[in-house]
Amino acid sequence: MAEIDSADVRNAESTRRWLSSRQDLWGASANNDTLIETLTRFCQFAGKSPDEMVDDCLRPGKAGETLTLRTRARRQYMDLIELFEGAVRSRPQGNIARSFLIHNGIAMNPGILP
C-alpha cells in the first residue's frame, strides 16, 4: 500500500470526527497541524489509514446496524501505540494516537505516568 500522507489523514472521515469531537469538548483549537502530523506518523507506523484503524476496532455486528467493539483489535492497537510511543520517545505523541481512537469510540488506557 502507498505511504499515507498527511492530506489523506486530514481528509479521512474518522479524522474529521476526531477533530470535531475534540473541538466540541475542549473548545476551538488554533491549530490542528501537530495532531495531524502525529497521527500521520502513527498511521505510517501502523501501515493503516485512520478509517481502517477505526474499522478494525468497531465493526458492524451480526445484525448489521450497530457497531461492535473488537476487544482483541483494541488490545492490539493499545500495544501498537505503546510501541509507537517507545519509538518516538514521547507520551504526548502516543496520546495523540490514543485521542484519535478514543474520540472515535475506542477506549484507550495507557498506564499512569510515574
Partner 1 sequence: MEFKSVVGWRRSIRFFDPWREVEREKIQTILEAIYRAPRVLEIDFVRVVVVLRDELSADEMQTLKTPTTTAQLDMAPVYIFFFADLEAIEPACRGDNFRQLINMGVLNPSHGWTEEFAVGTAGQYIRTILDDEDRVPLRLPVGGDSATQIVSREALRLARTAIGIAQEYALLAAVDEGLGAQLSGVNVGAARGILGFPDTWVPSSPMLLGYHGETIEAGGQRPREPFEEDFFELRYGHPFYREPAVVDRLKAAEMIQDPAPFSWRMDEVRGLARKFGLPD
Partner 2 sequence: MEFKQTVGRHRSSQYFLPWRPVERKKVQVILEAGRLASRAVNTAFSKAIVAYRDSLTAAEREKLKTPFSATLIDTAPVYIFWFYDMDARRVAVEERKWPTVASGALVDIGALGPPHGWSHRYVQHVVLPEVLMPGLDAGPQRGGNADAALAMAQGLLAAIDEGLAVNLAPFDEAGAKEVLRTPDTWEPVTAMFVGYPADSWEAAGQEPRPPFESMFFDQRASQPFERDQRVTQRLKDSGLIQRPAPVPWRAKEVRAVSRMLNLAEDEE
Give CA 46 to chain center in angstroms.
10
Per-residue contact flags (x/-) with partner 2 for residues 34 to 53, judged by CB under 8 A:
--------------------
Joined grid coordinates for residue 100: 484519535
* Selected range binding partner 2 among 31-39, 41-49, 60-68, 86-94, rule: CB under 8 A: 60-68
Shortest distance, position 35 Cβ to partner 1, whole Å: 11
Q: How far apart are CA 98 and CA 6, in angstroms?
A: 18
Give CA 114 to chain center in angstroms.
24
Q: Give the containing element (helix H, strand E) for 37.
A: helix 33-46
Shortest distance, position 29 Cβ to partner 1, whole Å: 11
Per-residue contact flags (x/-) with partner 1 for residues 25 to 64, judged by CB under 8 A:
xxx-------------------------------------
66 sits near partner 1 (criterion: CB under 8 A) = no
Q: How far apart are CA 53 and CA 12, in angstroms?
A: 11
CB 106, CB 54: distance < 8 Å: yes
List residues near partner 2 by CB under 8 A: 17, 21, 24-25, 58, 61, 66-69, 99, 102-109
